[in-house]
Amino acid sequence: MELTHEEIDRVVAAALAEDVGSGDATTAALVPEDARCRAQLLLEEPGVVCGIPVAAAVFRALDPSVRVEAVLEEGSAITDVPAVVAEIEGPARAVLTGERVALNLVGRLCGIASLTRRFVDAAGDTGTKILDTRKTTPGLRALEKYAVRCGGGVNHRAGLYDAILVKENHVRLAGGIAPAVAALRERTNGLPVEVEAETLAQVREALEAGVPRILLDNMSPEQVAEAVALVAGQAELEASGGVSLDTVRAYAETGVDYVSVGALTHAARSLHVSLEVQ
């Protein structure tokens, strides 16, 4: 579940530039330059812990001497709240100036991890994996996909560059699934290939073309079950489109390999987190 320092630092730098600008006027006016403090980062509602390394990067960007010690592990599910997730100690100006950026990012990541965990729990022991999508907040994709992993989900492709996904408009422009797959031969550069199918006829066409993974787009659980029977293990299957917490179990019980859920990142609510100086 690791994030690279480069991924974190890029987001933190942009967020601090946006929030701090030319300086924290309130803190500079009220807090002595040499003041130090201790503080706690708290999760105020039940959910999954995620983003402590990101919060630590926020404070370290303002002052490298700030110490952030995690109390709870990333991915921990918390029901007894408020819960202390991290202890912070260091120059008071850095702690107060970084507070809002740290809370915004941690709250967002906890929210995504928590919603993902709900979908994973709903799928239960079916063996179906819950996938994210590219429906992420611009600039935050690496962090949000990390949060999905913390919640027990699995990442789909990171972007347009690391996998080939032939979608509806590609199929139309190529003249059909078979011509699209034929055109891909010798052009994949070793990237995994997946083709979107909207009907069982297209599933059959993709299967005959030798597609290793088929995305079942906006099909009902009943249609997905038919596709699973038709494919009979000859290709991986992913159900996608309009899946909710109320329906994900029905999709998972069809035997499909994956269910992708854009809502994990585009509809997750930020959890309430706070920072309290001791």
* CATH, domain range 122-266: 3.20.20.70
Give the tokens for residue 202: 């297209």
**185 — pLDDT class (breaks 50, 70, 90):** confident
Q: Is 276 helix (H, G, I), strand (E, B) or coil?
A: strand
User: Would you say 193 and 164 are in contact if contact means Cβ atoms under 8 Å apart?
Assistant: yes
Mean pLDDT of 175-202: 94
Banded model confidence at residue 260, pLDDT cuts 50, 70, 90: very high
Q: Which residues participate in catalysis according to the annotation?
A: 100, 135, 167, 196, 217
pLDDT above 70 coverage of the chain, percent: 100
Over the chain, what is the mean pLDDT? 97
What's the mean pLDDT in 11-39? 98
Fold of the domain built from segment(s) 5-120+268-277: Aldehyde Oxidoreductase; domain 3 (3.90.1170)
pTM value is 0.96
Q: What is the pLDDT of residues 210-253, one digit of tens each?
A: 999 999 999 999 999 999 999 999 999 999 999 999 999 999 99
Confidence check: pLDDT of 2 > 90: no
Rounded to 5 degrees, φ, ψ at 71 are -100, -35
Q: What is the mean pLDDT of residues 38-60?
A: 98
| Residue 82: cis peptide before it, omega within 30 degrees of 0 | yes
CA-wise closest residue to 256 among 151, 154, 129: 129
Q: What is the DSSP letter of 268?
A: P
169, amino acid identity: N
| Residue pair 230/248 in contact by the 8 Å Cβ criterion | no
CATH 3.20.20.70 maps onto the chain at 122-266
- Characterize the bridge pairing of strands 193-197 and 77-78: unpaired
* Range(s) of the chain covered by CATH 3.90.1170.20: 5-120+268-277
